[in-house]
Amino acid sequence: MAGYSDAPMRQLAAEQGALWTVSEMISARGLMEHDGPDLTLGRPYPGETGRVVQLFGAMPEYLAAAVQRTEEWFAPAAIDLNMGCPVPKVHGKGGACLLQTPEVAYDLIRAMKSATDLDVSAKIRLGWDEDRSVEVAQGLAEAGAAIITVHGRTSKQRYTGEADWDAIARVAQSVDVPVIGSGDVTTLEVAQRRQSSGVAAVMIGRGAVGNPWLFQALASGDGLYPSAAARARTALRHAELQAEFYGEDRFGVRSVKPLRKVLPKYLPDHPELRDDLVQVLTVDDVARVLAPLLEGTEEA
């Protein structure tokens, strides 16, 4: 979820009923080399609560120090160790490659726990190229992980195929700490089925991009999809939150360029808007593109 689960998206998710949210992953080494708490990756939006800050790394001393700095700068509700990111540039630096050497991950959890009184959790995949999830989860729980989130694919699979929720269920049955399931949760009906797998909760990532109402649907049991006008208004608000949180760039522009990959997902039933939405630069650009829906008479 790097590049997606930043403060504006977390704010929309929380407003729609997400129980808690997770920051974009932050390099422990990078955090220690940064010289001030202005790092946007972990910074909360005003009044934010229930935010877990996610760190990645492969050296206990860096993770322990980064936990202390995270607590000092960002006041998180808890801290998570990323063991699920399959992106090649993270290889050797943490993420899913820790699944090849889980004993290193256990040391990381112990080091993180030693540096804070906050809960420390871990998010894993089933394994690197084969399912070792029960073994890894049991080791993480023994090392002190308070919660374990399991994405139902191996690192080798990345995001292909279907998430294996039977494997997630086996993990939930094998440890005494809460297990959260993740993978392919895109609708209320899917989430409800997955909750019957014995997990404590479900985690929603890609399924919430352009669809923060999914959290409201889970909270209320009402899976009614908002109208196009309502979704357009939320897309515009997302752009406004983006501009407000990040402020002006080095060119003096309150750019919403990072949302080019997000905005079309609010309106998949209006493909005629896509070409313009992927070229917006400012909030005014977003308002102009969405004007036909925003000025319509369609009710929310």
Residues annotated catalytic, as ranges: 85
Structure-block tokens of residue 149: 């989130």
SS3 content of the chain, % helix, strand, coil (to 5): 45, 10, 45
Structure-block tokens of residue 106: 């256990």
Question: Does residue 108 contact residue 73 with C-beta atoms inside 8 Å?
Answer: no
Distance CA 1, CA 23 (A): 9
SS3 state at 270: coil
Distance CA 133, CA 153 (A): 10
Closest C-alpha to 168, from 156, 184, 152, 183: 152
Element (H, E) at 244: helix 228-246
Phi first, then psi, for residue 259 (nearest 5°) are: -85, 0
SS3 state at 32: helix
